[in-house]
Structure 1
Amino acid sequence: MKSRLAQLKSRIDRIPAPSYRLQLGVAIAVVVTQALIAMTGAIVRVTGSGLGCPTWPECFPGSMVPVEHPEFATLNQWIEYGNRLFTGVVGLIAVAAFVLAYRHRPTDKRYLRLAIAMPVGVAVQAVIGGITVRLDLLWWTVAIHLLASTVMVWLATLLVHAVPRDDRPRGHGSKLLYVPAGLLAGVLVTGTMVTGAGPHGGDPETPRFDVPVETLAHVHAAFLYTFLGSLVLVGFWLRGTTNPPWRRYRILLAVVVAQGAIGLVQFWTGVPEMLVSLHVLGAMSVIVATASLWCGVRTTESLVAKQPQRT
């Protein structure tokens, strides 16, 4: 085992030092694929394909791929299997991000830690997905599966902003944004609870969370309004700072408002499948925009701190 690891390390060491653009491009690809795997998971759920492959890691006992079966529709099998295949793509890109970070030999070890978290997180997600299937899509296992994706999207966004470039300070987050980040976590958690009580469980036979959907939707909406209110307060604070990241702030506000609008239309129209998938993608977009502002504020603070003091 040690000799194989040594051989692998030797091969990685022979890879030419990567450029900034290559590292940044792969890091962005990590964000995109992490967000898309959450959306494909939503497609699996709304099409009732969650148990199209009823076991894990095999699709069927004795077969890694879909097979004809009288109890499982072929389309549902391939939708679920396609999601599993895409997980492999996500994993390959995550590994590539780690290899590039390792070859860069960064002085900022945080960059390397974030890069390591990408393939490790994909592996953990795969295991969570397997447990979810083996427990027949119990609502709370599906919720954990989705929340793990939200964490990965957040970390992947931090990875993008951690890619080293010359002597520019990297974003590490700001204490100011702890409150909005905490409220966003509340939005996401309550959102999974709404999903758990809603009509799309991934399989028609899956038991649902036994709480009225309307009640959970109102709690979810309350978190969203509070989150939006906290962003307004952040905007007032940014007015008094040097070089505030206004563009990131405006993008975040626009994404949050659009996501809220999708949620309202979704609620009023009986939770149609297409809007559910778009809502999940919108949630990933909100996470990316929030994490980008988090890093942007910290980068601005770092730049100000590095400026020489006038006497």
Structure 2
Amino acid sequence: MLYRAFLRVVDLLPLPSLRVQRVLAFIAILTQGGIAVTGAVVRVTGSGLGCPTWPQCFPGSFTPVGVSEVPVLHQAVEFGNRLLAFVVVISAAAVVLAVVRARRRQEVLLFAWLMPLGTVVQAVIGGFTVLTGLLWWTVAVHLVVSMGMVWLATLLYAKIGESDTAPESTPTVPAALRALTGLSALALTGVLVAGTMVTGAGPHAGDKSIEEPVPRLGIEIVTLVHAHSQFLIGYLALLIGLGFALYAVGAPQVVKRRLHVLIALVLAQSLIGLVQYFTGVPAVLVAFHVAGAGACTAATAAVWAACRTRGPAAAAPTQNTEGAALGS
């Protein structure tokens, strides 16, 4: 009943073209990855407690308050990051409205609804991070979940571009190579988790407090860097092996082209990591490294999505029965 009322309201909106739907999905990818980058800026500028409470910025105020204990810059950086969360919510809501109005198939609707739901989860995690005083593992969870949202947003973009009328998706590569692509995604997960541990033991705690410094991960950072790099080497080796296999079986150009982009991004990300290690982890490179992590995650998801397809979607949206049935 409630969803039917929602559909009646949504039907008052203009019918979005396929291009509009894809643009909105692409914006969702950018915002989900972008807020991870601004979160890194918060951390490296020591602004993590620029707003020391949550959901309010200061007790009794949702906006920054002029207090001597918290520098204005730190308040502005942290509050700006919180404001960006509203942009993420708006972009997530926009893509939901677009695909619901176009009556896309149930699979597309599911991935679209995961955008606002995931954003709410991220907001709760962010609040927990602030309330626990920026404990390193809460920051790590925050980043890993952000990368998961980038993955889901990329799959949403791919699925929006597919046909709603095809009975099911068909493989574009042998099952073994799709499994290898999935294994590379697991290796990427290992890279990300190990990277968050390096951050947890590193110098950028997110808070400039001298009286009560944020506890760091008590493992020697060089050991963690080596573990992070070993995961990266394994990830890259899997991608190179996948590339040779794709050429051997004559995989479609779209799969090979996406893999080329992914390998280039991983190599660039590796270079940033090396420069970070040998230059003492300068703050500016942390933001670039987080952006690179988001780009590698999106590119890996794009390769995974290209391993199966339902065929291209029609240029004009259709009121398909599967999408309409979801609201019945």
Using structure 2 for the length normalisation, give the TM-score.
Answer: 0.87
Cα deviation, 1:19-47, whole Å, max 9, x if unaligned, reads: 10000000000001111100000000000
1:267, distance to aligned residue in structure 2 (A)? 0.6
The residue aligned with 1:11 is 9
* CA–CA distance in structure 1, aligned partners of residues 104 and 267 of structure 2: 38
Q: For 2:252, which of 210, 235, 243 is the aligned residue?
A: 243
C-alpha change, 1:27 and 1:89, in structure 2 (3 Å) is same
| Residue 120 (str. 1) matches residue 128 (str. 2) | no
1:86, distance to aligned residue in structure 2 (A)? 0.3
Moved more, 290-299 or 217-226: 290-299
Greater relative CO, 1 or 2 (CA 8 Å, sep 6+): 2
Q: For 1:61, which of 46, 59, 62 is the aligned residue?
A: 59
1:165, distance to aligned residue in structure 2 (A)? 4.7
Task: Report if the CA contact (8 A) 1:161-1:171 is conserved.
Answer: no
Q: For 1:39, which of 37, 40, 53 is the aligned residue?
A: 37
Q: Match for 1:200: what amino acid?
A: H
Cα deviation, 1:152-202, whole Å, max 9, x if unaligned, reads: 000000010010455678699932311101000000000000000000011
Task: Report if the CA contact (8 A) 1:20-1:165 is conserved.
Answer: no
1:102, distance to aligned residue in structure 2 (A)? 1.1
The residue aligned with 2:192 is 188
Task: Report if the CA contact (8 A) 2:265-2:295 is conserved.
Answer: yes
Aligned counterparts, 1:1-311, within 5 A:
8-107=6-105, 109-166=106-163, 174-204=178-208, 205-239=213-247, 240-244=249-253, 245-299=255-309
Task: Report if the CA contact (8 A) 2:57-2:63 is conserved.
Answer: yes
1:113, distance to aligned residue in structure 2 (A)? 0.7
Task: Report if the CA contact (8 A) 2:7-2:100 is conserved.
Answer: no
Q: Secondary structure at the match of 1:226?
A: helix
Q: Secondary structure at the match of 1:102?
A: helix
The residue aligned with 1:307 is none
Q: Match for 1:184: what amino acid?
A: L
Q: Match for 1:101: what amino acid?
A: V
Task: Report if the CA contact (8 A) 1:171-1:296 is conserved.
Answer: no
> What is the number of equivalent residue pairs in this alignment?
298
Gaps of 5+ in 1: 304-311
Using structure 1 for the length normalisation, give the TM-score.
Answer: 0.91
1:11, distance to aligned residue in structure 2 (A)? 1.4
Q: CA RMSD in A?
A: 1.9
1:242, distance to aligned residue in structure 2 (A)? 3.6
Q: Secondary structure at the match of 1:257?
A: helix
1:17, distance to aligned residue in structure 2 (A)? 2.2
1:18, distance to aligned residue in structure 2 (A)? 1.4
Runs of 4+ with >4 A deviation: 5-8, 164-173
Q: Match for 1:137: what amino acid?
A: L
Task: Report if the CA contact (8 A) 2:188-2:232 is conserved.
Answer: yes
Q: Match for 2:27: what amino acid?
A: A
